[in-house]
Amino acid sequence: MQFKARIAHALVGALFTGTLLLSTPTHASELSLVETQQAQALGLAVPYSAKVPTIESVLGYPAASRISSPAAIEAYFVKLAEQFPAQVKLHYYGKSWEGRNLYYVAISSAENIAAYASYQQGMQQLSAADKTSREQANKLIAELPASIWLSYGVHGNEISSPEAAMLTAYHLLAAEDEQTASWLNNTVVFIDPVQNPDGRSRFVSRYYMTAGLEHSADRHSAEHNEPWPSGRSNHYLFDLNRDWIALTQPEISGQVTALLENMPLVFVDLHEMGGDSSYYFTPEADPYNPLITKKQRETLWYIGENNAQWFDERGYDYFTREIFDAFYPGYGASWPLYHGSISMTYEMASARGHVFRTKNGDILTYGDGVQRHFVASVATIEAVAQQRQQLLKNFWDYRNQGIEAGSDSKQRVYLFAGQQDPAATQRLAGLLTRHGVHVQQAKEAFSACGVKYPAGSFWVDTAQPAHYMARTLLDKNIAMDDKFIAEQERLRANNLPDQIYDVTAWSLPLMFNLDYQTCSRAPRVESQLATEQLVKPGTVLNADAEVGFIVPWGDMNAGRFLTEALREGLTVKRSDLAFTHKNKQRYPAGSLILTHAQNPNLKAAVQKLAVSSGATVHGVDSSWVTDGPNFGSNNVKLVHAPNIVMLWDEPVSSLNAGHSRYVIEQQFGYPVTAMRAAQLSRADLSHYQVLILPSTYGSLSAALGENGEANVTKWIENGGVLITFGNATEWAVQSDLLNSALERVINESPQGHGSEKKVDGLLIQSKAEHMHYITPDAADPYWTAGVLTNLDVDLEHWLSAGVQPNLISVTVGNQIYRPLSIEHGRNIVSYSKNVLASGYLWEENQQQLAYKPFLMWQPRKRGMVISFTQEPTYRAYLDGLNVLLLNAIFGGAAHATPLR
Ligand SMILES: [Zn+2]
């Protein structure tokens, strides 16, 4: 921090925590004085109305003197909405997993709030550029207010912005100057004060637990080092700022619905970063997603420059453009761009508590963060108010331009027949609809570009106002700027870290492993708009069947049917091999068999499960099979309801543990017991049939120790199924449970950098030779931030039952494993020869990954080890790998042979 900032801090400190803390103002005039002083400290010397409740009057402590809980913040906004219904609209959009309210407020002039319904309607008309004429649009542009959506605290341990949300709201309602009034006449300000209440609540309660007589500024103190999992994530430990593609979490899916209802023109996501930084705002770093237009970039620049003016006046340091790029569309600060809005990240240095000593020796306070986020919020509101007409016009132009771009495209239409995986196809159609993309469902069969599609097929015409959103979610590949890539290769060649910040590929049809075609013309077929429905209720064919029911395996509908049936206590069998029933129907490997003989009251149970799971269930009047195993064959296994235990807490990656638990519990519908390493090392595990080890950040060997290794090994030998994800596979290798090996980078002529302290003289004759000599002998392969990769499946195994021959995975990091030799086990899924499906991956990694294992299976006495070399639950959006994971868990438990 600079000198001026330190002065500002001293002032805030005095006002926030000095005499004001001791005073308990009761009269309106005193309240006014308090807030005026606070506001002056915040740098806005404007008169404030005494009628607006201050933070202190509602919460009992002055603004920024305490890290407010989500409940306290909600109480403040409820109070504002109750007291100022003419200017504040409070809207609830959902509940977090732990039951906390998710909400936003809209604040504007009384006139704008009175006309709120017509504002929403007007924005919907302006959005619908396919239905609204230019004249109507011009009228709307002339009349509608501008709008800005300020989202605070998506990462629960980034603490200052939700406090700034309260001050921003207070300022807008209480400030009596003309400037603020004119902003509100021109702008509807949406405030989402706490996007992640569960994470914030976790942070706040644990922070105050560790506080002593005085707050510690020491970065090594317990106050400044959260236990696992940090407050950053939500209940299922997701980074919510990566959930804007899959919309799996209520905090984000609810917010997306609210955004689509209001279509704000500008969106700001206010974060915190490391405490030794200053403040970051727009413009973003390279690379930009190519679907972001020049106009949008100009507006980002304009807003950044306006912020800079406010920061200059107060002597606040800031930086722009160096980090936080705008390529991946799954951030809060990216998603609105593809609907034609402007969106940005702001980042403040975090005190991560009340006080923090920076590397420069300055004391950074919580109040400093609150202050800067407040100033940045207000500055941005000003920029939006000033640009009202221009922003409305740009928004309309963007959506119009989308229709034109779609019409001109050779890949105008995406078509999904959906026969290969009906569950994932339905989910994609519902998900795209939730993103505000129009998806059509054909009422009858049709042909397009020479391909026949059955009735019920989905298609997306990208000649629509949400063209860019459709494309960024559906396109197989979004190209990175050539210049940026060339720069990354240059950095790498010079042994410097690359600047790729996040995954470079995210195509939904690829991640869902869906077959689709594109066509340059829209089909002529009567269709209806798809709904937001993610699971379509299934049906039972031949419901009065005499012998029982078969559920064809191969998608999530059947997967949900299996888990629900097991939880209901039904007896379910599963065929390892495909078979043809007397009814002439061919059933894929993995298909489920339920008979009346083994299940009383089966008819009613199956009916209920078909509806809730989405599965199509086939009733059979005979058990006669004409090809493949009969129901009583040894190739048809009883599926037990396994007890699943997952390693939890240090040293596990909270992200992978959270994603995995979420996928199994919320998408598969099956409970998981979370267990810490200390218990796992010594507990009697015989109660469990499946143990999942997620990826880790620290050392599993150190956490589990020799006892843990021995306990797990004995448990496997007695019939346990160990499933490892990502780098937990390395532990299985080190523990001799998996006879694979981790590969180093390919190094054709190692230079013998040994440990000798005196070596022979050497002539280095070229730069190339020099590079050769500084390359380590035993380096790991080069790290990748994440790409989509092609996989080939060995279909001759129950682990791949019902799975497509080719799959897609995310590949992150630099772990490459050796295939298992056949005496040890099988390589069920391997990287394809042509590794890269989408994104940017270093050439040598592509070569080295080819044919290497993605999923290995190694039996051991009565149990087995199933190892994924990457995370199949990554961000919970690799739906195309779900059947494989279901096979590993439930097929694995069915194939292990514990003594019962
Ligand atoms: Zn953040």
Q: Which two tokens stand for residue 187?
A: 């702008």
Asked if 791 and 809 count as a contact pair (C-beta separation under 8 A), the reply is yes
Distances (CA, A) of 801 to 322, 709, 794: 48, 30, 10
Q: How far apart are CA 100 and CA 111, in angstroms?
A: 32
How far apart are the two ends of the chain, measured CA to CA in Å?
A: 66
Distances (CA, A) of 704 to 91, 137, 691, 698, 731: 47, 64, 14, 11, 10
- Work out the average pLDDT over 262-283: 96
Asked if 191 and 262 count as a contact pair (C-beta separation under 8 A), the reply is no
pLDDT greater than 70 at residue 531: yes
The Å distance, Cα 273 to ligand 1 centre, comes to 7
pLDDT greater than 50 at residue 12: no
Asked if 802 and 789 count as a contact pair (C-beta separation under 8 A), the reply is no
pLDDT for residue 288: 83
Least confident of 22-36, 429-443, 617-631: 22-36
The Å distance, Cα 99 to ligand 1 centre, comes to 22
Asked if 224 and 401 count as a contact pair (C-beta separation under 8 A), the reply is no
pLDDT greater than 90 at residue 770: no
The Å distance, Cα 158 to ligand 1 centre, comes to 6
pLDDT for residue 506: 95
pLDDT greater than 50 at residue 822: yes
Asked if 884 and 799 count as a contact pair (C-beta separation under 8 A), the reply is yes
Alpha helices in 790-874 (DSSP H): 843-849
pLDDT digits (tens, 9 = 90+) for 680-716: 999 999 999 999 999 999 999 999 999 999 999 999 9
Q: Which two tokens stand for residue 96?
A: 């977090």
The Å distance, Cα 157 to ligand 1 centre, comes to 8
The Å distance, Cα 3 to ligand 1 centre, comes to 27
pLDDT for residue 493: 86
Q: Average pLDDT of the chain?
A: 93
Q: Label residues 623-635 b or e (16+ Cβ within 10 Å = b).
A: bebeebbebeeee
Q: Which two tokens stand for residue 789?
A: 């990769």
Distances (CA, A) of 348 to 215, 296, 641: 20, 23, 48
pLDDT for residue 40: 52
The Å distance, Cα 373 to ligand 1 centre, comes to 13
Q: Measuring CA to CA, which residue among 307, 466, 457 is closest to residue 400?
A: 466
The Å distance, Cα 888 to ligand 1 centre, comes to 34
pLDDT greater than 50 at residue 20: no
The Å distance, Cα 347 to ligand 1 centre, comes to 7
The Å distance, Cα 154 to ligand 1 centre, comes to 7
Q: Which two tokens stand for residue 885?
A: 């994971």
How does residue 25 score in pLDDT terms, banded at 50, 70 and 90?
A: very low
pLDDT for residue 118: 96
The Å distance, Cα 240 to ligand 1 centre, comes to 9
The Å distance, Cα 424 to ligand 1 centre, comes to 31
pLDDT greater than 60 at residue 3: no
The Å distance, Cα 691 to ligand 1 centre, comes to 32
Higher pLDDT, 71 or 290: 71
Question: Around ion ligand 1, which residues have CB less than 5 A away?
Answer: 155, 158, 271
Q: Which two tokens stand for residue 143?
A: 């009349």
- Work out the average pLDDT over 82-100: 98
Q: Which two tokens stand for residue 506?
A: 């995210």
The Å distance, Cα 797 to ligand 1 centre, comes to 43
Q: How far apart are CA 473 and CA 434, in angstroms?
A: 12
Residue 591 — left, alpha, or beta (φ > 0 → left; ψ -120 to 50 → alpha)? Answer: beta
pLDDT for residue 14: 33
Percent of the chain at pLDDT > 70 equals 95
- Work out the average pLDDT over 795-816: 97
- Given the structure tokens 């207000």, which residue do they identify? 378
Overall size of the chain counted in residues: 900
The Å distance, Cα 866 to ligand 1 centre, comes to 35
The Å distance, Cα 272 to ligand 1 centre, comes to 5
Strands 440-442 and 342-349: unpaired
How does residue 501 score in pLDDT terms, banded at 50, 70 and 90?
A: confident
Distances (CA, A) of 583 to 419, 495, 538, 788: 20, 64, 20, 40
pLDDT greater than 80 at residue 223: yes
- Work out the average pLDDT over 215-227: 96
The Å distance, Cα 497 to ligand 1 centre, comes to 22
The Å distance, Cα 649 to ligand 1 centre, comes to 21
pLDDT greater than 90 at residue 768: no
452 in helix, strand or coil?
Answer: strand
Q: Which two tokens stand for residue 119?
A: 């504002």
pLDDT digits (tens, 9 = 90+) for 34-90: 444 555 556 677 889 999 999 999 999 999 999 999 999 999 999 999 999 999 999
Return the DSSP state at 696.
B
pLDDT digits (tens, 9 = 90+) for 743-757: 999 887 777 666 678
Higher pLDDT, 26 or 494: 494
Backbone angles phi, psi at 798, to 5 degrees: -65, -25
Return the DSSP state at 890.
I
Q: Which two tokens stand for residue 641?
A: 């309801």
Name all domains of the chain by residue range, CATH numbers in brackets.
48-404 (3.40.630.10), 409-529 (no CATH), 539-639 (3.30.70), 644-743+779-895 (3.40.50.880)
pLDDT greater than 50 at residue 10: no
pLDDT for residue 42: 60
Strands 826-838 and 853-860: antiparallel
Return the DSSP state at 820.
P
Side-chain-side CA neighbours of residue 302 (13 Å): 18
Q: Label residues 861-890 b or e (16+ Cβ within 10 Å = b).
A: eebbbbbbbbbbbbbbbbbbbbbbbbbbbb
Q: How far apart are CA 760 and CA 241, in angstroms?
A: 54
pLDDT for residue 361: 95
Backbone angles phi, psi at 47, to 5 degrees: -75, 140
pLDDT greater than 90 at residue 443: yes
